Amino acid sequence: MKRILLIVGGGIAAYKACELIRLLRGAGHQVRCVLTDGGAQFVTPMTLAALSEQPVHTSLWDLKDEAEMGHIQLSRQADLVVVAPATADLLARMAAGIADDLATTLLLATDKPVLAAPAMNVRMWLHPATVRNVDRLRGDGVTVIEPDQGPMACGEHGPGRLPEPAAILAAIEARLGVGCQRLAGKHVLVTAGPTHEPIDPVRYIANRSSGRQGFAIAQAVADMGARVTLVAGPVALPTPPGCTRIDVETAVEMANAVAQALPADAAIMVAAVADWRTESAAGQKLKKAAMAPALALVPNPDILAMLGQSPHRPRLLVGFAAETERVVEHATAKRAAKNADWIVANDVSGDAMGGNDNRVQLVTADGVEHWPQLPKMAVAQRLAERIADAL
């Protein structure tokens, strides 16, 4: 049992805090809530009190509270302070060290770890001021989890949605080092993102992989206690907490980084590795000529197949198959050809590449499982559970 001090900020996503309290209590934790003035516009103290079965704190100037439980004590009694939803304004005040209400005073007074789950409009999330504030908070040791992408209450679309309560619970338990640490002591190797194959110093061959599914898998297995090596192609995603990240650019660099990271108990090859590279990249920028240049291509190493044949083959070897047609048929053939245990077949005919959701089918020795369309983080958590079962 851990004691969570949950600060509920002002945003439409505050209703999800109610579900989070339910999940936290179901997992055996005690929750005490602080509701900001903004938060109280969306949920009532009564709702939070009923769900948490604890008094709810709202005002810095509530003398009764100060007499019975000073705010310093309130912040120090917890094992973890969670801010969900964390609005742009709340993040800004946290980053600046402002203490002008109960929530921010507690956050400044606490000596306990802090985890923030942001929720806001996409423009606010992408605004340089918010980017700066989040960087600063992370630098201060605050765990700021990534918001989800998708349609928003304001009618726009993009990153900024509060992650699902189950994902916040997983992040909380990972930060606390509790929960189902089913992969403790295991080394899991994950590749993610595209590769860039240079043509000349300024041009390259690439693909549409965003890296988000691979990063989500790295995070999900790290949340379950695994030691994770994340070999990442060129993507601008933040490193999931608890993962060792090795940045690479080309398939050859990725293959070398993977070989160096062995041995591993499981390898999940999510990267969209370019099958071909230019025979030799031009040393100088190619100049426009009358004729289009002919690019001589040579095959790249197949990293998954290489692991499949390696004397250090991980006990569980998982590949992804991005297909636009005959998904299961191709995935089944890849499983055999690359000596993988499982292939996660991924229909990329829609907007899976770069999108928030993924619809996958898991091809194993036992047959094919059809999973429903799920957010990439949920696909990752489900896969992580299966990996833990297998190991």
DSSP letters along 77-101, please?
S-SEEEEEEE-HHHHHHHHHT---S
362 touches ligand CTP by CB under 6 A: no
Q: Which is nearer to ligand CTP, 62 or 275 (CB)?
A: 275
Sheet containing strand 114-118, edge to edge, reads: 30-35, 3-8, 80-86, 114-118, 143-144
Active-site residue set: 154
Q: What is the DSSP letter of 238?
A: P
Q: Which is nearer to ligand CTP, 51 or 304 (CB)?
A: 304
C-alpha distances in angstroms, 84 versus 6, 43, 334?
7, 13, 42
State which of residues 246, 319, 341, 360 lies at the interface with ligand CTP (CB under 6 A). 319
User: Interacting stretch for ligand CTP, rule CB under 6 A, among 5-13, 31-39, 98-106, 267-275?
Assistant: 267-275
Burial (CB count within 10 angstroms: exposed 0-12, middle 13-18, buried 19+), residue 76:
middle
Which stretches of the chain are DSSP H helices? 14-26, 45-52, 63-68, 71-76, 88-96, 102-109, 122-126, 128-139, 165-176, 212-223, 251-261, 303-309, 327-337, 376-390
271 touches ligand CTP by CB under 6 A: yes
Q: Hunting for tokens 């929530």 — which residue is that?
A: 103
227 touches ligand CTP by CB under 6 A: no
Question: CA neighbours within 13 Å on the CB side: how many for 173?
Answer: 27
Q: Can you state the angle between helices 165-176 and 376-390, rounded to 10 degrees?
A: 50
Q: Which is nearer to ligand CTP, 285 or 326 (CB)?
A: 326
- Any idea of the CA torsion for 339, 365, 325, 333, to the nearest 10 degrees? 40
Q: What's the CA gap between 334 and 189, in Å, rounded? A: 20
State which of residues 119, 174, 322, 348 lies at the interface with ligand CTP (CB under 6 A). 322
**Interacting positions 278-317 with ligand CTP (CB under 6 A):** 300, 302-304
Give me the least distance between CB of 216 and ligand CTP, in Å please: 15
273 touches ligand CTP by CB under 6 A: yes
**Interacting positions 332-361 with ligand CTP (CB under 6 A):** 334
State which of residues 172, 190, 269, 387 lies at the interface with ligand CTP (CB under 6 A). 269
Q: Which is nearer to ligand CTP, 172 or 261 (CB)?
A: 261
Give me the least distance between CB of 272 and ligand CTP, in Å please: 6
State which of residues 275, 357, 369, 385 lies at the interface with ligand CTP (CB under 6 A). 275
State which of residues 125, 204, 215, 320 lies at the interface with ligand CTP (CB under 6 A). 320
**Interacting positions 108-167 with ligand CTP (CB under 6 A):** none
Residues that bind ligand CTP (CB under 6 A): 191, 251, 269, 271, 273, 275, 300, 302-304, 319-322, 334
